[in-house]
């Protein structure tokens, strides 16, 4: 099993194995890996002769094996991509597995599953022995920051950290949307190579009026009226109550950490720098710090915990629970 980051690094170096099995929840990352393989293996001039994409529900395993065993025409390798590999039954896999155990050195076979987990052990073990198996998990929040920076570099651009933070806060972990916004920014820059916060805000800032981070800031600032307005808008746009609570909790964790640093003698400016609060939010964050003591923040977390339990029990309407919580937190 190869992790996503290791796989991408290997593909960018031009290392191509004879077999790949990709599955998992993050389709955008799977497509990114497939595109790297296509660009590395397929000669555009011989594409029609050496590149096949088939679907498991339409093509038998024997057809796939025949394609893989066909020598490439005027090229070093041929590429065969099989989508919906989950459609293959046990009888199909009996035909496919012998090839996976002894793949052609002239072919790269990429198999894609739509499932979060692919559990056909004979396929997984054979591919793992002769190629690479990768499960594509959704990126963690801390991984998305570096992913955005990598995406900018892949487009020949650099991006300021505050611009990265803006895109992440506005779009969350929706990689497809982030990729689309970076493409819009690239077109807007007309050859310039640096993405600033102002550029990101100008080009990518019109997709929604509020984000979950705006809600967290309003609650953290004890602005109950604004928080209730933002909450209503976000719920109308389809945001999940549990996710909104998560953003609010994340901000209060930062505040708790900030107050602890302050108690140890650090000044507000040092705290903001240590927590990497982006510059256009620094003053707002300092204002939130002034509104709480450590004891008050402990009471806040008790309210957050009770709201989380109530949301997950499903007994009451999520909107009502969050509204009650905001009223309690904002006094």
Same-domain pairing of 194 and 245? no
Same-domain pairing of 161 and 200? yes
Same-domain pairing of 27 and 122? yes
pLDDT of residue 208: 57
* pLDDT bucket at 282, cuts 50 / 70 / 90: confident
* pLDDT bucket at 47, cuts 50 / 70 / 90: confident
pLDDT of residue 7: 95
Q: Write the burial class of residue 14 (CB in 10 Å: 0-12 exposed, 13-18 middle, 19+ buried).
A: exposed
User: How is residue 116 annotated by DSSP?
Assistant: S
Buried b (16+ CB within 10 A) or exposed e, 133-144: bbbbeebeeeeb
Q: Average pLDDT of 263-282?
A: 83
- In CATH, what number is assigned to the domain containing residue 267? 1.20.272.10
pLDDT of residue 162: 86
* pLDDT bucket at 206, cuts 50 / 70 / 90: low
pLDDT of residue 258: 92
pLDDT of residue 10: 95
Backbone angles phi, psi at 105, to 5 degrees: -75, -10
**Which structural domain, as residue segments, surrounds residue 188?**
141-204
Same-domain pairing of 127 and 191? no
Given 204, 220, 244, the domain boundary residue is 204
pLDDT of residue 205: 61
Same-domain pairing of 10 and 129? yes
Q: How confident is the model over 5-33, as pLDDT tens digits?
A: 999 999 999 999 999 999 998 889 999 99
Residue 54 near residue 64, CB atoms below 8 Å? yes
Given 116, 136, 156, the domain boundary residue is 136
Q: Could you tell me which residue, 207 or 193, shows the higher pLDDT?
A: 193
What is the overall mean pLDDT for the chain?
A: 90
Is the model's pLDDT at 319 over the cut of 80?
yes
Is the model's pLDDT at 246 over the cut of 70?
yes
Given 101, 136, 171, the domain boundary residue is 136
The distance of Cα 40 from the centroid of its chain, to the nearest Å, equals: 24
Residue 155 near residue 126, CB atoms below 8 Å? no
Is the model's pLDDT at 165 over the cut of 70?
yes
SS3 239: coil
Report how far apart, in Å, the C-alpha atoms of 132 and of each of 109, 111, 277 are.
11, 11, 39
User: How is residue 331 annotated by DSSP?
Assistant: -
Q: Could you tell me which residue, 98 or 141, shows the higher pLDDT?
A: 98
- In CATH, what number is assigned to the domain containing residue 10? 3.40.50.300
Of 303, 294, 293, 287, give the one whose Cα is nearest residue 217. 287
- In CATH, what number is assigned to the domain containing residue 176? 1.10.8.60
pLDDT of residue 115: 84
pLDDT of residue 139: 85
Same-domain pairing of 158 and 61? no
Is the model's pLDDT at 269 over the cut of 90?
no
Q: Could you tell me which residue, 262 or 169, shows the higher pLDDT?
A: 262
Residue 261 near residue 302, CB atoms below 8 Å? no
Domain total in the chain: 3
Same-domain pairing of 189 and 246? no
Q: How confident is the model over 113-150, as pLDDT tens digits?
A: 988 889 899 999 999 999 999 999 888 877 888 899 99
The radius of gyration of the chain from alpha carbons, rounded to an integer in Å, stands at 25
Same-domain pairing of 19 and 75? yes
**What percent of the chain is predicted at pLDDT more than 90?**
61
pLDDT of residue 315: 67
Is the model's pLDDT at 213 over the cut of 80?
yes
Same-domain pairing of 177 and 237? no
Same-domain pairing of 25 and 120? yes
Same-domain pairing of 9 and 132? yes
Is the model's pLDDT at 327 over the cut of 70?
yes
* pLDDT bucket at 280, cuts 50 / 70 / 90: low
Same-domain pairing of 216 and 240? yes
């Amino acid at each position: 099993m190869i992790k996503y980051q290791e796989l991408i690094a290997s593909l960018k170096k031009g290392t191509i194995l004879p077999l790949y099995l990709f599955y998992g929840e993050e389709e955008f990352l799977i497509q990114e890996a497939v595109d790297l393989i296509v660009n590395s293996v397929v000669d555009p001039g011989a594409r029609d002769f050496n590149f096949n994409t088939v679907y498991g529900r339409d093509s038998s395993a024997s057809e796939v094996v025949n394609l893989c065993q066909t020598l490439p025409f005027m090229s070093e390798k041929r590429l065969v991509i099989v989508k919906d590999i989950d459609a293959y039954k046990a009888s199909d896999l009996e035909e496919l597995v012998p090839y996976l155990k002894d793949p052609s050195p002239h072919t790269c076979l990429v198999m894609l599953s739509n499932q979060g987990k692919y559990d056909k052990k004979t396929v997984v073990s054979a591919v793992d022995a002769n190629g690479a198996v990768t499960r594509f998990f959704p990126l963690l929040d801390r991984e998305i920051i570096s992913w955005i920076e990598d995406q900018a570099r892949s487009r020949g651009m650099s991006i300021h950290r505050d611009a990265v933070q803006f895109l992440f806060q506005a779009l969350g972990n929706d990689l497809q949307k982030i990729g689309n916004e970076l493409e819009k920014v690239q077109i807007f820059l007309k050859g310039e190579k640096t993405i600033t916060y102002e550029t990101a805000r100008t080009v990518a800032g019109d997709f929604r009026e509020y984000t979950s981070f705006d809600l967290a800031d309003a609650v953290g600032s004890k602005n109950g009226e604004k928080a209730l307005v933002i909450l209503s808008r976000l719920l109308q746009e389809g945001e999940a109550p549990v996710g909104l609570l998560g953003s609010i909790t994340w901000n209060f964790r930062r505040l708790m950490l900030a107050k602890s640093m302050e108690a140890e003698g650090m000044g507000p400016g040092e705290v903001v720098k240590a927590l990497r609060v982006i510059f256009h939010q620094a003053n707002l964050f300092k204002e939130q710090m002034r509104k709480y003591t450590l004891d008050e923040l402990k009471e806040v977390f008790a309210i957050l915990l009770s709201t989380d339990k109530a949301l997950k029990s499903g007994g009451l309407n999520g909107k009502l629970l969050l509204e009650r919580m905001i009223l309690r937190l904002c006094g």
